[in-house]
Amino acid sequence: MPVIPIAGSERFGQSEAPLDPDESFGDLALHRVDAQAIAGVDALTYEVIRHRLVAVTDDMGEAIKRMSGSVVVTDCNDFGAAIMDELGETVQVGLYNMQLGSSLDMAGRWTLRNRSVSPGIHPGDQFLLNDPWIGGGLHQNDVTVLAPLFYQGQLFCWTGAVAHQVDLGGVSPGSWSVDGRDVFWESVPIPPVTIVERGRLRADTEDMYLRRSRVPKLVGLDLRAKIGANNVAHERLTTLIDKYGPDTVKAVMKRMMDDAETRLRAKLRMLPEGEWSAVAHQDGGRADDRQVHKIVVRMTKRSDRLHFDFTGTDPQVEGIINCTLAGLRGGILPILLTMLCPDIPWAPGGIYRCVDITSEPGTINNCTFPAGIGKASVNSAWATQNAVSETVAEMLATHPELSRSATSVCSGTWDLTLLAGVDQRGGGFATMLCDAMAGGLGAKVDGDGVDTGGVNCIPMGRTADVEINEFSFPMLYLWRREEVDSGGPGRYRGGVGGSSCFIPYDSPAQGVHLVVSANGKALPQASGLAGGYPAATQWDVLIRDSSVRRRLAEGVIPSRIEDLGGHTDTVPPHLETDLGADDVYFTHWQGGGGLGDPLLREPEAVARDVALGKVSPQAAERVYGVRLADQAGSDADAEETERLRHHLRQERARLT
Amino acid sequence: MDLDLNLTVGPGGCVDCRHCGAQVGTSTAAPLDKAVRTQRPPSEAGPGMHADPARFTDRPIVLRQVFCPNCLVLLHTEIVPADEPCYRQWSLR
């Protein structure tokens, strides 16, 4: 059935343009400062308050972690926190999931425009939303709680907390419906609703929200964690305002955004004028889709501005991989922050002023309602990030100093493994495994990428300990480890990714439900730079009727797929199935892209990689042109390596 | 001005190989127009290409590479659908 246009849905879509500073919102009084106040803050006061605001977002993160009961939050840091000014412009985004902080401004603006009259915005209110067409998160699992802070009767600023919720309903556990065709297969988005009214949690709104979840108690705890994080922030901010006065604190907020803008513009002026284009592919928009979908970007740098033009990107698909404008911005901001702004305040409200975006609504990374967006964050938003990463890194590569912030593409996608069922305590559970937080980082212009170093949109991302996962969920690991040849070959090698292999364990149901969704199987997604190869393809394997329990009873822990017996099948990009008692699941996530010609890598470095299990002897010879003195990789044979590399140069260029 | 690990802007605005000095592009607006280009099966990218792409898509997938015309140093690598043009391009003003 074709996706049916929904009359009136355009009310929930919006541009990314800031609000008019003089716009009014019903009877709401906004606290504003003028340019004179902003200019009047002395440097010392500015730095003291700026650092305090940064610390407030850190405190928000700590508050979320301490109150949440979800491993995805407590152990893996899949959440975000930010402070916005009175108009919703983001003053400071925390170090956690930057994708989740990329469109809180859009959510704040929409709430101001659409909730200030009815039901009104009052002191002590907080708003809940998970509508990515409005902003906040990137897919429905990213639930935002926005909280306006009032001071002396005026709306002073907003804080926002977003976290990944492990299940909000929809056809499939975890809300990742791999057969989904449109948003109605998924958790239906919630536009901003009052969840806390004048300081009191609204029971009706909470019930409406939690009723949809398969794990309402856990999601309810996360809800309180986000409300609590906003409360912590408001307490800290109020103390700060009491001490320095509202005009001074607000002036610092505005100056932080101005400072970020000024410094980014100055950095851009140091770079050459030009255009850089890239493409990112995703194989399969839903289960049984054999198409490859592309996102194209042409980044133009003129003077002190960047223009990202996504013209040529494929139309939105009947599937789950589309993302909204919020997702597109979530693909841009993390790259700007980590590559262009490591030494600049992370004040997106100022950074966005240096950026123009051209994108056609109805495309895969700027989709219109009711396109399916259940996997937006880790599909089209992530793929956008990959393409943007290439263009920004290539631009930076032209500068002798700034090039040191550039990397090849990091971990090309999120390897979604979702488990659900009955846990070892007899309760229902659903969770997303976050082992793929240990993705490989892209290679740098002067060094290898960090092995299992993370994902670049979540600087504070972590994997839960194996023991925590086994304690929390009915599963038993056979291994979790770095994987050979998973980093993109290059003069500087991409960081390796890893794999996990586990069985269902100790569930009264004798098995678990499994949802798999990970692209990059037909073609790799973490591209290299300057000739560097992409990282390995995603690889997931399901082993049915294995001999693993017999092997374990014999005191043997299998360490290779070949040792597991049974029937082995390579898993497609999207699959929903059950894991039985004798089934084993192996999932291998991606590394980072390489940089430079692998035939220029120091032979000793290749030998060391082989010895450490980062590169196979086969790849050492066929890709790096290094002949090892022995298979253990202890030494490279210099004479044979020279001969082999000469031969490979001719062969790969088709000159033999 | 160096453009990356492999390329530099030479006299007259042409793009030269940093390893051998050969001209790779006639200008920064056409930076690789003299380079050697090849297209091979993706499996030749090494053991990191785990499965045959045909398991997942009906579109042919290829490994494309670009080399210096003189010293054959590798300048660009991508694995993409064979029926697509090369979207990865750049030019300087």
b/e A544-561 (16+ beta carbons within 10 angstroms → b):
eebbbeebeeeeeebeeb
Interface test with A, best of B9, B36, B56 (most A CBs within 10 A): B56
For residue B24, is pLDDT > 90?
yes
User: A536 to chain B nearest CA, in Å?
Assistant: 4
pLDDT confidence band for A2 (50 / 70 / 90): low
Beta-carbon separation of A400 and B2 below 8 A: yes
List the 500-559 stretch of A: residues with Cβ below 8 A of B.
521-524, 527-539
Q: Of all residues in chain A, what percent are helix, strand and coil, respectively (each to 5)?
A: 35, 20, 45
pLDDT confidence band for B11 (50 / 70 / 90): confident
Beta-carbon separation of A531 and B75 below 8 A: yes
Beta-carbon separation of B50 and A530 below 8 A: no
Beta-carbon separation of B93 and A390 below 8 A: no
Q: What is the pLDDT of residues A153-175, one digit of tens each?
A: 999 999 999 999 999 999 999 99
Q: What is the pLDDT of residues A527-549, one digit of tens each?
A: 999 999 999 999 999 999 999 99
**Chain A: residue whose CA lies nearest to B43:** A523
Residue among A354, A143, A102 nearest A230 (CA): A143
Phi (first) and psi of residue A523, to 5 degrees = -155, 145
For residue A42, is pLDDT > 90?
yes
Other beta carbons less than 10 A from residue A600's beta carbon: 18
Beta strands in A426-558 (DSSP E): 428-433, 475-482, 498-504, 512-517, 539-544
CA distance A29 to A230: 21
Question: Across the A/B interface, how many CB contacts are shorter than 8 Å?
Answer: 172
Residue among A139, A110, A144 nearest A17 (CA): A110
Query: Looking at chain A, how many residues does it have?
Result: 656
Tokens of A207: 């019930």
Strands A200-201 and A193-197: antiparallel
Beta-carbon separation of B79 and A534 below 8 A: yes
List the 377-416 stretch of A: residues with Cβ below 8 A of B.
390, 394, 397-398, 400
**Chain B: residue whose CA lies nearest to A291:** B57
Q: Does A656 touch chain B (CB under 8 A)?
A: no
DSSP letters along B9-25, please?
E-GGG-EEETTT--EEE
Task: Report the share of chain A in percent with pLDDT over 90.
Answer: 95
For residue B59, is pLDDT > 80?
yes
Helices A216-244 and A246-269 cross at an angle (nearest 10°) of 100
Query: Under 8 Å CB-to-CB from A387, ≥6 apart: which residues?
Result: A278, A279, A280, A295, A296, A297, A331
pLDDT confidence band for A232 (50 / 70 / 90): very high
pLDDT value of position A630: 79
Beta-carbon separation of A534 and B38 below 8 A: no
Signed CA dihedral, A579, B53, A622, A604: sign only: negative
**Chain B: residue whose CA lies nearest to A590:** B48
For residue A1, is pLDDT > 70?
no
Beta-carbon separation of A652 and B59 below 8 A: no
H-helix or E-strand spanning residue A395: helix A380-396
DSSP letters along B39-70, please?
EE-GGGG-TT--S-GGGT-SS-EEEEEEE-TT
Task: Report the share of chain A in percent with pLDDT over 70.
Answer: 99
pLDDT value of position A459: 86
> Which comes out higher in pLDDT, residue A1 or A237?
A237
Q: What integer is the mean pLDDT of A391-400? A: 97
Residue among B84, B11, B90 nearest A397 (CA): B90
pLDDT value of position A656: 65
Beta-carbon separation of A622 and B46 below 8 A: yes
pLDDT value of position B10: 85
Interface test with B, best of A523, A571, A599 (most B CBs within 10 A): A523
For residue A632, is pLDDT > 80?
no
pTM of the model: 0.97
pLDDT confidence band for A633 (50 / 70 / 90): low
pLDDT value of position A634: 74
Mean pLDDT of chain A: 96
Task: Give the domain ranges of chain B.
Answer: 7-81
CA distance A650 to A656: 6
Beta-carbon separation of B72 and A650 below 8 A: yes
pLDDT value of position A3: 65
For residue A397, is pLDDT > 80?
yes
H-helix or E-strand spanning residue A127: strand A126-129
CA distance A475 to A506: 7
H-helix or E-strand spanning residue A331: helix A325-335
Interface test with B, best of A269, A290, A292, A303 (most B CBs within 10 A): A292
Other beta carbons less than 10 A from residue B58's beta carbon: 10
> Which comes out higher in pLDDT, residue A460 or A158?
A158
